[in-house]
Chains A and B, each alone.
Chain A
C-alpha cells in the first residue's frame, strides 16, 4: 500500500465539469492536511474537445506535477483512450458503466478497469444527472479510501449557501452512495490511499493569478484596466470581484492599448495602476509602454505568456516573450522585468513591482505564463504576509497634490517635473496643486516638461542620461533576486527563470536521489541586474544547462549578451506543454552527452 503519494487525473469534454470537479477534489484533499499540486490542460472551446485536470498529492509541499498517473477518472471514452498509457501498473480507470470501454485491453496493460453506475446513482439517488460529477469524485474518494467528510464539506461550500441546502443534501446522498459502492467494488484492488493528516493546519489552495491578485491588492493598487486574454483574464476577473470591497476601479477597456493608457493616466494622477494581458495584448501595448518610459510614469504590467506567434496555442503555456518584454517599445527607456517562479513569489514580487515602478518612475513588467497562472498548490496561510507587504510600501519621490504642507515646502523654489538630479529620479507631484502646474510630453522634453521644439542635442543628452541612469541605481539597490536550490558543489547547474522554478526544483530532487549532483539557479529578477555580480555567480557553477519553455533559450541569450558567459547546454520545450521533472531529467541526460 502506498499512502499519500499519488496522482489523480480527471478527463472529459469541455463543459462536463472536469475543472470544477478536479478543483473540488483538490480542495477536499488539501483540507485533509495533504499537499496538492493541480495542473490543467484545456482547449480553446467551450463545449466538446478534450480537457483534463491532474492532482498530485503528497505529505510534503509540491512544486510541480508528475507525468505518471495512478487513478484516472474518465468522463468520456476519449479520456480512457488518450491517457491510459500514462497510468502506472496497477493504476485504476474509473468511468461510468455506460461508456464503451475495452476492459480487456486495460487489463492487458496491468490496469484495473473500474466501471461504476455513476449516471444511474446521480439520477436515482440525486434525481439529476448533473450530479454525476459528484458521484465520480466520491467514487474516486472511495477507491482511495479517503475520508468522505472532506468531500462533503466542499459540496456544502459549493451548493449549500448558494442554491439552498436541498441541492447540497441531494449531492451528499449521491456522494455517499457512490463512495460506498466504489469502495466495496474496488478499494481492495487499488494500492494508493489517501489518509488525512491529523492536526495539519488549514492551507490555502491557490493559483498564480490569484496570488498576483492578492499582491496587487496588498500593494494598494487602485486602478486595474485591461482586455480579457487567456491566461491573464482570471486575474482581471479576480480583481473585478474585489473592486467594491477594496475600493478599486476595474475597467474592461476596448482594447489593450486603452488598458495600459488608462493605467498611465491614473498613474499620472498619483494612483498605483496595473494592467494584465498575454503576448498578443502586450504587443498592442508596446507603443504606450514607450510613452510610460518617456514620461517616467510608473505602471505595472502583468504579461501572462502563452505560446505564439500570433494566436499561437491560446490555451497552452510557454516562456516565449522574454526578449520581447525586455526590448518592447521604440527607443531606449528604463524598465524592470520580474519573473516570479512560485505562487509565493507571485504574491511578493507583484507587490514589489509597484514599489520599483514608483521608486524609479518607470514601467515594470511581471512575467508569468499559463502554467504558473493556472496551476494550483496548497500553501501555508502564513506564506502570504500582508503586514510585511504593507510595511514595505515605498512610493519613492512622490508628494500627492492634496498633501498641502509637503507640496508647499517642496515647491518653495519652484517645481520642475523632470528636474535633473544626481540619481535621475525627480520629485513627482501629480497635477492638482497651484505650485505644481506643468505639462508633460512623450516627445523629448525639457526639465519643465515642455516639448523641446528645437530638439537640441544638449537637452537630449541630459534627458537620456537622466532617465537611463535610474537603471544603475535600481540594479544596485533593488534588484538581484536569484536562488540556488540543491547541493552547493553540484556538477551540473540547471539555469532557469520564471515559472520553470517548480519543475526544475523537483527535477533537482529526483536527479540527486538518483546519485547525480545537480542544483538549480533560478532568477526572478531579469532586468536591470548588476551583471558583474551575475557573472561571478555563474563562474561558481560547473556545467551550466539552461532550462526554458521556449525555442531559442531566451534567458540564456540574455545572460550571454550581458555577461559574455554561455551556458554549456540547453533544454528547451516549446510544444505548449509545461516543463515537468521527468522531462527535464530525461533531457538532461541527452544534453550532458552533448557537452
Chain B
C-alpha cells in the first residue's frame, strides 16, 4: 500500500462528470481539493470525503478517492466515527452552510471542542442552491429569497467567530475564485493535527445574485498579506472574524498546534487502528468479567 511517488490530476479523475451548473463555485473547490492531495502526495485510497446533502456534497463522486455521501447535516458525526475506527486515513468533511451551520449545527459545535484530526471544508454560498434559492444560515440580513420575500430578518451565522469560541484549533476561510490559495489552505488544514475548519466563499451563480464572484473579488483580502498578522493570536483572530463589509479577510485566522487530538487521548487507539485489532477479546479475559457479578 505504498504511496506513489508522484500524483497527477489524472490520477484523481473520477469517471463521474459533475452535474454542477456552468460557473459554479464548487468547481473551484473540487480543483483545490485535488491540488491539495497532489501537494501532500495523498493517494486516493488514503483519503475519504464525507459529504452532506446539497450541490457541493456531490463532490465525493467527482474526485477519485473514498467517499460517503450521507444525510443533510450529518457528515460530521459520521466522519468522527470513521476516524476513530481508522485513524490512519485522511478524513475530510465537505458539506454546505446549510449542513453544518444549519441543520447539523450541534454536531459542528461539538466536533470543535473534541479536536479530532478531521479537515472540514464548508461550501458557503449563503443560499440554498439545490432546493432552488431559499435563504441560508449565512445569508446576509435583508437577503431576499423565495422564503424571505421581504428580506431575512435574522442575522447571519458568523462561522469564524463561532469556531474560535468553540475551541477549533485551525480556523480559515478561502474563496473558490482563488483555487490556488484555497488549495494551499486545504493542504495546511489536512496537515494540521486536529480539527481544521475551512469556510469557503463559493458563489452560486444561479440563485445568489448578491454575493457574486465580483462582489467577493472587490472585498476579499488575504490575512497573510496583512503586516504583522499572527494566526497564533486568538484576540487578533477574534477581531478579524468580525470584519465584514468593504473589506473581508480570507486566509488562516487562527491556528493552535498545542491541543491534543481526540484520537491521541483514547487508550484503545494507542497501538493500532481499531479496525485492525483482533476480535473477539481472549476468552480468559472475558471469563474474568464474571467475577464482577458473583
Contact = CB atoms under 8 A, between A and B. Distances in A.
B194 to A, nearest CB: 17
Nearest to A381: B290
A219 interface: yes
Contacts of B276: 400, 402
Contacts, number: 206
Interface stretch (A118-126, A386-394, A532-540): A386-394
B83 A203 contact: no
Contacts of A434: 1, 43-45
A243 B269 CA distance: 11
A261 B85 CA distance: 13
Contacts of B70: 261, 291, 442
B82 A269 contact: yes
Most buried by A among B19, B46, B293: B293
Given A254-B110, A264-B81, A269-B86, A202 B294 contact: yes
Interface string A207-235: 00010001001111011010000000000
B77 A246 contact: no
Contact of B67 (A265, A270, A440): A440
Contacts of B267: 243-244, 247
A262 B80 CA distance: 6
B286 interface: yes
Given A386-B283, A443-B69, A431 B277 contact: no
Contacts of A255: 106
Contact of A254 (B58, B78, B106): B106
Given A222-B274, A269-B82, A431 B89 contact: yes
Interface in B253-294: 266-269, 274-277, 279-281, 283, 285-287, 289-290, 293-294
B294 A261 contact: no
B68 interface: yes
B38 interface: no
B45 A431 contact: yes
B61 interface: yes
Given A220-B279, A247-B277, A205 B84 contact: no
Contacts of B84: 223, 249, 251, 262, 265-266
Interface in B70-94: 70-71, 74, 77-86, 88-89
Contact of B68 (A220, A437, A440): A440
B109 interface: yes
B274 A441 contact: no
A473 interface: no
B107 interface: yes
A176 interface: no
B82 A266 contact: yes
B96 interface: no
14 contacts: A206-B293, A218-B286, A243-B268, A247-B267, A265-B79, A268-B82, A269-B85, A269-B86, A269-B89, A271-B274, A291-B71, A381-B290, A390-B280, A439-B68
Given A266-B274, A439-B60, A450-B16, 10 more contacts: A217-B281, A220-B279, A220-B280, A220-B281, A248-B268, A249-B266, A265-B84, A432-B1, A442-B70, A450-B61
